[in-house]
Amino acid sequence: MDKQTAIKEKFALMHTYSRAPLKLVKGKGCYVWDQNGKKYLDFTAGIAVCNLGHVPDKVKAKISAQLDQIWHSSNLFEIEAQELLAAKLTEMSAFDAAFFCNSGAEANEAAIKLARLYAHHQTNTEQYEIVTFQHGFHGRTLGTLSATAQEKIQKGFDPLLPGFTYLPYNDIPALSELEKIKPIAVMLELVQGEGGVIPADKEWIKALAAICKKNGILMIVDEVQTGMGRTGTLFAYEQYEFQPDIITLAKGLGSGFPIGAMLAKENVAQYFGPGTHGSTFGGNPLATTAGLSTLETFSEEQIIANVQKQSEYLWTRLNGLKEKYPCIKAIRGKGLMIGIVLDTEAAQVIQAAQQESLLILSAGPQVVRLLPPLTVGKEEIGEFVMKLDHVFAKL
């Protein structure tokens, strides 16, 4: 029996993921357990989703209480948790209004639509071009796929949607092309996640922001992975000397509950009126209760301070491993979003780590990605370094 036949007989799921042979059935804090009761140290956090660790107590209590109230009412009616979450997000950021959806891809779709609508009202022209950057990642819907400048992800889905031009990332001379393209917006990650955990250079961002301001080009920052404290501030843009017009969020916003959000300045947000956009499940009482209690936990438990403290310790320990093992070529990223650049295949390191009861990720063929819960402590970091040391010693 060939592999595909075996998969078809075993599962009714479409084979869109290469899954590890693990069934994770329980999680708490920085740890998960499989169906056999084996315990793993989880430095994936569900791909930067479980930022408060697995099953955080305060979020669990608020969702449990909401389950006894109302689950769904539709956006045809006022939803208190949605209003409170929007108020909290705008209070804690540079933005004036929020739109809620279910995922990062949907948040980026909303940002693309809003940018086009803004340009239509502002310029009364047919211009709709948006510039994105090579090796970025913005989602897998047809629109966000078209915005994602990675051929390997786009392959087989032609024709892509028109309206996207790609420029090199962290390349100041290439920004001169913006004057010729005359886009309505640029869209970027401040740390490219799927593209290899590559941070934006501050001088490049400064140059990009200056060009955008001079030419009236909107700046959209995809904070789906970098947002919610991951890089050491609540939002990554806070570490750069500019304010975007729009940001998008998801992943860590709901502590594992599906939610996405787009935040925008009032001069842009005003064009999203009734009938321009919507989401059946977006911002429902359960999702926004999860988001609201997540943000409250950030404030009450000093999560950002912990990220800053523990990331410094983790980076120091990782640089120690780099000095010990020549196969580690670089450590890069920000905060607790870290890439270990190798001269070997990341897949074999990830597989070997599972044998050490450690879960880690890749970000390209030769980059191991670390995304531990933001609640991680010195003890868990020590355990992680010990396990990774064992992995590299064996390899």
242-259 pLDDT per residue, tens? 999 999 999 999 999 999
User: Is residue 317 scored above 80 in pLDDT?
Assistant: yes
Kindly report, residue by residue over 82-139, the tens digit of the pLDDT: 999 999 999 999 999 999 999 999 999 999 999 999 999 987 677 899 999 999 999 9
User: Is residue 270 scored above 90 in pLDDT?
Assistant: yes
Collapsed DSSP state (helix, strand, coil) of residue 330: strand
| Total number of domains in the chain | 2
- According to the model, what pLDDT value does residue 2 have? 60
Q: Is the dihedral of CA 390, 393, 394, 395 positive or negative?
A: positive
In this structure, the answer to whether residues 110 and 172 fall within a common structural domain is: yes
User: Is residue 8 scored above 60 in pLDDT?
Assistant: no
In this structure, the answer to whether residues 348 and 257 fall within a common structural domain is: no
Q: What's the CATH number where 130 sits?
A: 3.40.640.10
The pLDDT confidence band at residue 6, using thresholds 50, 70 and 90, is low
CA 224 vs CA 230, 310, 344: distances in Å: 10, 22, 28
Q: What are phi and psi of 245, to 5 degrees?
A: -90, -30
**What is the domain range of residue 357?**
3-56+304-394
Out of 266, 300, 334, a domain closes at: 300
The pLDDT confidence band at residue 48, using thresholds 50, 70 and 90, is very high
In this structure, the answer to whether residues 217 and 351 fall within a common structural domain is: no
In this structure, the answer to whether residues 362 and 285 fall within a common structural domain is: no
For residues 152-162, average pLDDT: 94
In this structure, the answer to whether residues 48 and 62 fall within a common structural domain is: no
User: Is residue 378 scored above 60 in pLDDT?
Assistant: yes
In this structure, the answer to whether residues 224 and 268 fall within a common structural domain is: yes
User: Is residue 161 scored above 70 in pLDDT?
Assistant: yes
Out of 244, 266, 300, a domain closes at: 300
Q: Any residues with CB less than 8 A from the CB of 230 and at least 6 apart, and which?
A: 48, 51, 236, 252, 307, 335, 336, 337, 371, 374
User: Is residue 1 scored above 60 in pLDDT?
Assistant: no
Kindly report, residue by residue over 202-246, the tens digit of the pLDDT: 999 999 999 999 999 999 999 999 999 999 999 999 999 999 999
The pLDDT confidence band at residue 363, using thresholds 50, 70 and 90, is very high
Out of 238, 268, 300, a domain closes at: 300
